[in-house]
Chains A and B, each alone.
Chain A
Amino acid sequence: MTEKEQEHIFKSWLDDHKGLFFKIVRAYAVTQMDMDDLFQEIAIQVWRSVPAFRQACAVSTWIYRIAINTALTWTRKERRHPQMEGMEEGVSLLQEDGEAPDERLTWLYAAIHQMDVVDRSITLLLLEGFSYKEIAAIMGITESNVGVKINRIKKRLIVQSEKQDCYGL
């Protein structure tokens, strides 16, 4: 595959699945600087992965696989060097569009942030509508293990949302 072909495929992936990138970035990073840094990291890894894509799965599944792995690695790195990691240049890659965010969505992201990195990844995949089988393949664990984790996650989210309703937050 030539570099031009790789670039062309990467650009089309980026255009078609822009929302997917943003959702993962927002689920793993909090500050604008971190979001930018993580987005860059994911974009680089997805770009590198283009020649290895053999169409054995959907592009979105492939991107999710790469993005979640990158986010997990980034989270570990970030925890070790919270101040050292940052943007290389002063230019921001991601800019917010200025629209007022849905409060319930903001709460959902906050709830996802409170989870450990494994549960966070599974929640993202579940919300994206991936089946247990697909989640198991992406995470590299058994379907039954996925089922157990999802039950736990759902219960926890529902309890948290009830608390939120009670306190009227």
Chain B
Amino acid sequence: MDFEEMKTIWDAQNSATAYKLDEQELHQRILARKKRAVFITNLSELMIIITYGVVGFVVLSVKMYYLAAWMFLVVMALMISRIRRLRAGRRFDRSVQGQLQHALATAKYQLRLSQLMRWNIVIMFGLTFLAIWKAEKPWWALVLMFFFFLLSLYSSRLEHRKYTAQKESLEALQHKLDS
């Protein structure tokens, strides 16, 4: 079979209706998805910003100044990077290459963010440790805090791995497109 014959077979589909469509159901699903979309897209970013902001004020109220200052710094850095990410999103065209580059830029951003948050956990551990040490709290408070940070570090590692895999699959696709 030559390619022209394949094209004729392909074109023959246009005259035959292979499927029926439930338009009402589709419409309902689109509306439901629209409501969810905005919420899901920004959730993780906003959650970190709000949580750090609120906890920052709580920490400030108990006079842990260094830790509070660090948390506000993280909030500011996140807000700036969020604005930059949203602005950068408008740069990409609607071609497959453009959308792929956009997806790759987002994946790299998420990877950077998760790496930053991992380092942040270590710094937060140090500052909290110092504050508890100075306040002469019982030893079990330090042990409890240590395990809590260990757990956070483990979760962030899992998240980081997920983003790394995502970025690698996008890079593989980009390679296929360019080859």
CA distance A146 to B105 in the complex (A): 24
- For B80, the chain A residues whose CB sits under 8 A away are none
CA distance A127 to B14 in the complex (A): 12
CA distance A88 to B28 in the complex (A): 11
A-side residues, CB < 8 A to B, are: 7, 11, 14, 18-19, 22-23, 26, 40, 43-44, 47-49, 52, 65-66, 68-69, 72-73, 76, 79-80, 88-89, 91-97, 99, 101-102, 104-105, 108, 116-118, 121, 127-129, 137-141, 145, 154, 157-158, 161-162, 164-165
Interface magnitude class on chain B = 35 or more
- For B9, the chain A residues whose CB sits under 8 A away are 102, 104-105, 108
Indicate if the CB atoms of B3 and A139 lie closer than 8 Å: no
B13 at the interface (CB under 8 A from A): yes
B1-55 interface (Cβ within 8 A of A): 1-3, 6-7, 9-10, 12-14, 16-23, 25-27, 29-30, 32-34
CA distance A40 to B26 in the complex (A): 7
Q: Closest residue to B162 on the A side, CB-wise?
A: A80
Which single member of A7, A19, A121 contacts B96 (CB below 8 Å)?
Answer: A121
B99 at the interface (CB under 8 A from A): yes
Q: Shortest distance in angstroms between A74's beta carbon and chain B's nearest beta carbon?
A: 12
Indicate if the CB atoms of B95 and A139 lie closer than 8 Å: yes
Indicate if the CB atoms of A102 and B6 lie closer than 8 Å: no
- For A47, the chain B residues whose CB sits under 8 A away are 30
Indicate if the CB atoms of B25 and A118 lie closer than 8 Å: no
Which single member of B12, B94, B173 contacts A65 (CB below 8 Å)?
Answer: B94
Indicate if the CB atoms of A14 and B23 lie closer than 8 Å: yes
Which single member of B20, B23, B96 contacts A69 (CB below 8 Å)?
Answer: B96
Indicate if the CB atoms of A139 and B177 lie closer than 8 Å: yes
Which single member of B6, B18, B19, B97 contacts A139 (CB below 8 Å)?
Answer: B97
Which single member of A66, A79, A89, A161 contacts B6 (CB below 8 Å)?
Answer: A161
Q: Shortest distance in angstroms between A145's beta carbon and chain B's nearest beta carbon?
A: 7
B-side residues, CB < 8 A to A, are: 1-3, 6-7, 9-10, 12-14, 16-23, 25-27, 29-30, 32-34, 93-100, 103, 165, 169-170, 173, 176-178
- For B13, the chain A residues whose CB sits under 8 A away are 19, 22-23, 105
Which single member of B6, B34, B97 contacts A108 (CB below 8 Å)?
Answer: B6
Indicate if the CB atoms of B97 and A94 lie closer than 8 Å: no
CA distance A94 to B169 in the complex (A): 30
- For B16, the chain A residues whose CB sits under 8 A away are 99
Which single member of B19, B103, B170, B178 contacts A94 (CB below 8 Å)?
Answer: B19
CA distance A112 to B170 in the complex (A): 21
15 A-B pairs with CB atoms under 8 Å apart are A7-B27, A22-B19, A69-B99, A72-B100, A94-B20, A96-B18, A97-B19, A105-B9, A108-B6, A117-B173, A117-B176, A118-B96, A139-B97, A139-B177, A162-B1
- For B97, the chain A residues whose CB sits under 8 A away are 139-141
A76-B169 contact, Cβ under 8 Å, with A108-B10, A121-B96: yes
- For B103, the chain A residues whose CB sits under 8 A away are 73
CA distance A118 to B96 in the complex (A): 9
Indicate if the CB atoms of A22 and B18 lie closer than 8 Å: yes
Which single member of B22, B33, B95, B99 contacts A137 (CB below 8 Å)?
Answer: B95
Which single member of B1, B19, B23, B173 contacts A96 (CB below 8 Å)?
Answer: B19
